[in-house]
Amino acid sequence: MKGFLLVQRTAVALAAFGMLMPNAVSVAKASDAVAKAQPSVKIARTGTAADVSLSAKGEFAGRVFDHTGKALEGTEVVVRQGDKVIAKSVTDDKGLFTVAGVKTGAYQVRAGNTEGVFQVWEESAAPESAKGHALLVMGENGARGQYGAVDPALLLLTAATIAALIIAIISLSEINDNNDKIDALQAQLDAILNSL
C-alpha cells in the first residue's frame, strides 16, 4: 500500500511539474539557437533513394518546388556522389533542371537547404517504379516537424528538478509513515494511561 501511494504521489508530482515547466518555449529557443548556428538540411533517410530513369538523351532531369508547390526559378542544383561534385545546374522558370553525363548509380541532389538521394537508371534497365525525373521540395527551413537539439544545461536542470521532486516525495512519504507510527504509539500510551 505504501509503495502504491509513493508511486501515485510521484506520478502526480511529475504531472504537475510537466504542466508547470515551460518546456515548449525552452525547446523552441534551443531549436532557434541551433538553426542560427548552422544551416539545416533536410536529407532523405538512408535506404529511401527514389528511382529515376535517365531520359532518352541520357540526361538526368528533375524539378524543384518550394513547400507551397511553386516552381523555383534560378535555384542552383548540385549533383554529387559522396563528396565528389558530378555536375551543377540551374532551374528554369518551371523549376526544371537537366544534367548531362550522369551514369547509372546513386546520387545526392541538393537544391538550397534540401537534399534528396536518387538511384539513377538507364532508361532500358529502370524498374517500373522509376520516375522520369527527380523531385525536390524545399521546406521553409529544411527541417520541418523536427524539434532539433536541446540545450544540455536545460536537460541537466530538468533532470535535477525531477530528482529533487522525487526525493521530496519520498521524504514526505517517510514523514507520513512516521506520523502514523507516532499516532499508533500515542494511542497505545493513552490506552496504558487510561488503564491505570
What DSSP letter does each residue of 68-86 carry, written as one string?
A: TSPBPTT-EEEEEETTEEE
Query: What span, in angstroms and rounded, lies between the C-alpha atoms of 50 and 119?
Result: 6
Q: In this predicted model, what pLDDT tens digit does every residue of 113-172 receive, in sequence order?
A: 888 888 888 888 888 888 888 888 886 434 333 344 456 677 777 777 787 777 777 777
- Per-residue confidence (pLDDT) for residue 131, from 0 to 100: 85
Give SS3 for 52: strand
Answer whether residue 18 shows pLDDT above 80.
no
Q: In this predicted model, what pLDDT tens digit does every residue of 62-114 receive, in sequence order?
A: 999 888 888 889 999 999 998 899 999 999 999 999 998 888 888 999 988 88
Q: In this predicted model, what pLDDT tens digit does every residue of 29-38 receive, in sequence order?
A: 555 555 555 5
- Per-residue confidence (pLDDT) for residue 10, from 0 to 100: 73
- Per-residue confidence (pLDDT) for residue 93, from 0 to 100: 92
- Per-residue confidence (pLDDT) for residue 166, from 0 to 100: 78
- Of the chain, the end-to-end C-alpha distance in Å amounts to 36
Q: Would you state the cell numbers that stand for residue 176, as one nine-digit string?
A: 507520513
- Per-residue confidence (pLDDT) for residue 74, from 0 to 100: 93
Domains of the chain: 2-37+148-195 (no CATH), 42-138 (2.60.40.10)
Residues 137/42, Cβ–Cβ less than 8 Å: no
Query: What span, in angstroms and rounded, lies between the C-alpha atoms of 23 and 28?
Result: 8
The count of other CB atoms within 10 Å of the CB of residue 62 is: 24
